[in-house]
Amino acid sequence: MRYTLYPLAIGLLLIASLNSCAPSVNDTTTPNALVATPDTVTLAGLAASGAVSLRLNCGCTFIFDSVVTTGDTAAILVTPKEGYKDSVTTHTITFSGKPGTATGPHNATYTFYTYDADTHGDFWTTVHVFLTVP
């Protein structure tokens, strides 16, 4: 009876390997990367907002390990649609001006990091946000 389970187990392993996000050994395309679309957000005024989509080239699900910020980040609100620890194929991040921010230009850079277990790689992408408060 236990020998009849081997073909089933082998079949399940084959199906699992075909559904993997890991790239093929013979894959000659662009290596996996974390991509932001767009990678620059320009906000004209505090009422403006702009969103970016973050995804891995492989189409795999991922979570964020960290976000490193530089610049005038106190003037810009960052609102993720999904939680940073949610494992999804695309993360959507919305940027907007913080109410009460002083007039003038405010610029910040956000670098998003993730680790992809399937390809054993660390990936990051940078988003530049430019806010001008009239």
pTM for the predicted model, two decimal places: 0.76
Q: Which residue has the tokens 């939680």?
A: 83
Residue 17, pLDDT above cutoff 80: no
Domains present along the chain, CATH in parentheses: 33-133 (2.60.40.3450)
Within 8 A by CB and 6+ apart from 77, the residues are 95, 96, 97, 98
- pLDDT at res. 104: 97
The tokens for 4 are 């009849």
Lowest-pLDDT choice from 29-38, 74-83, 94-103: 29-38
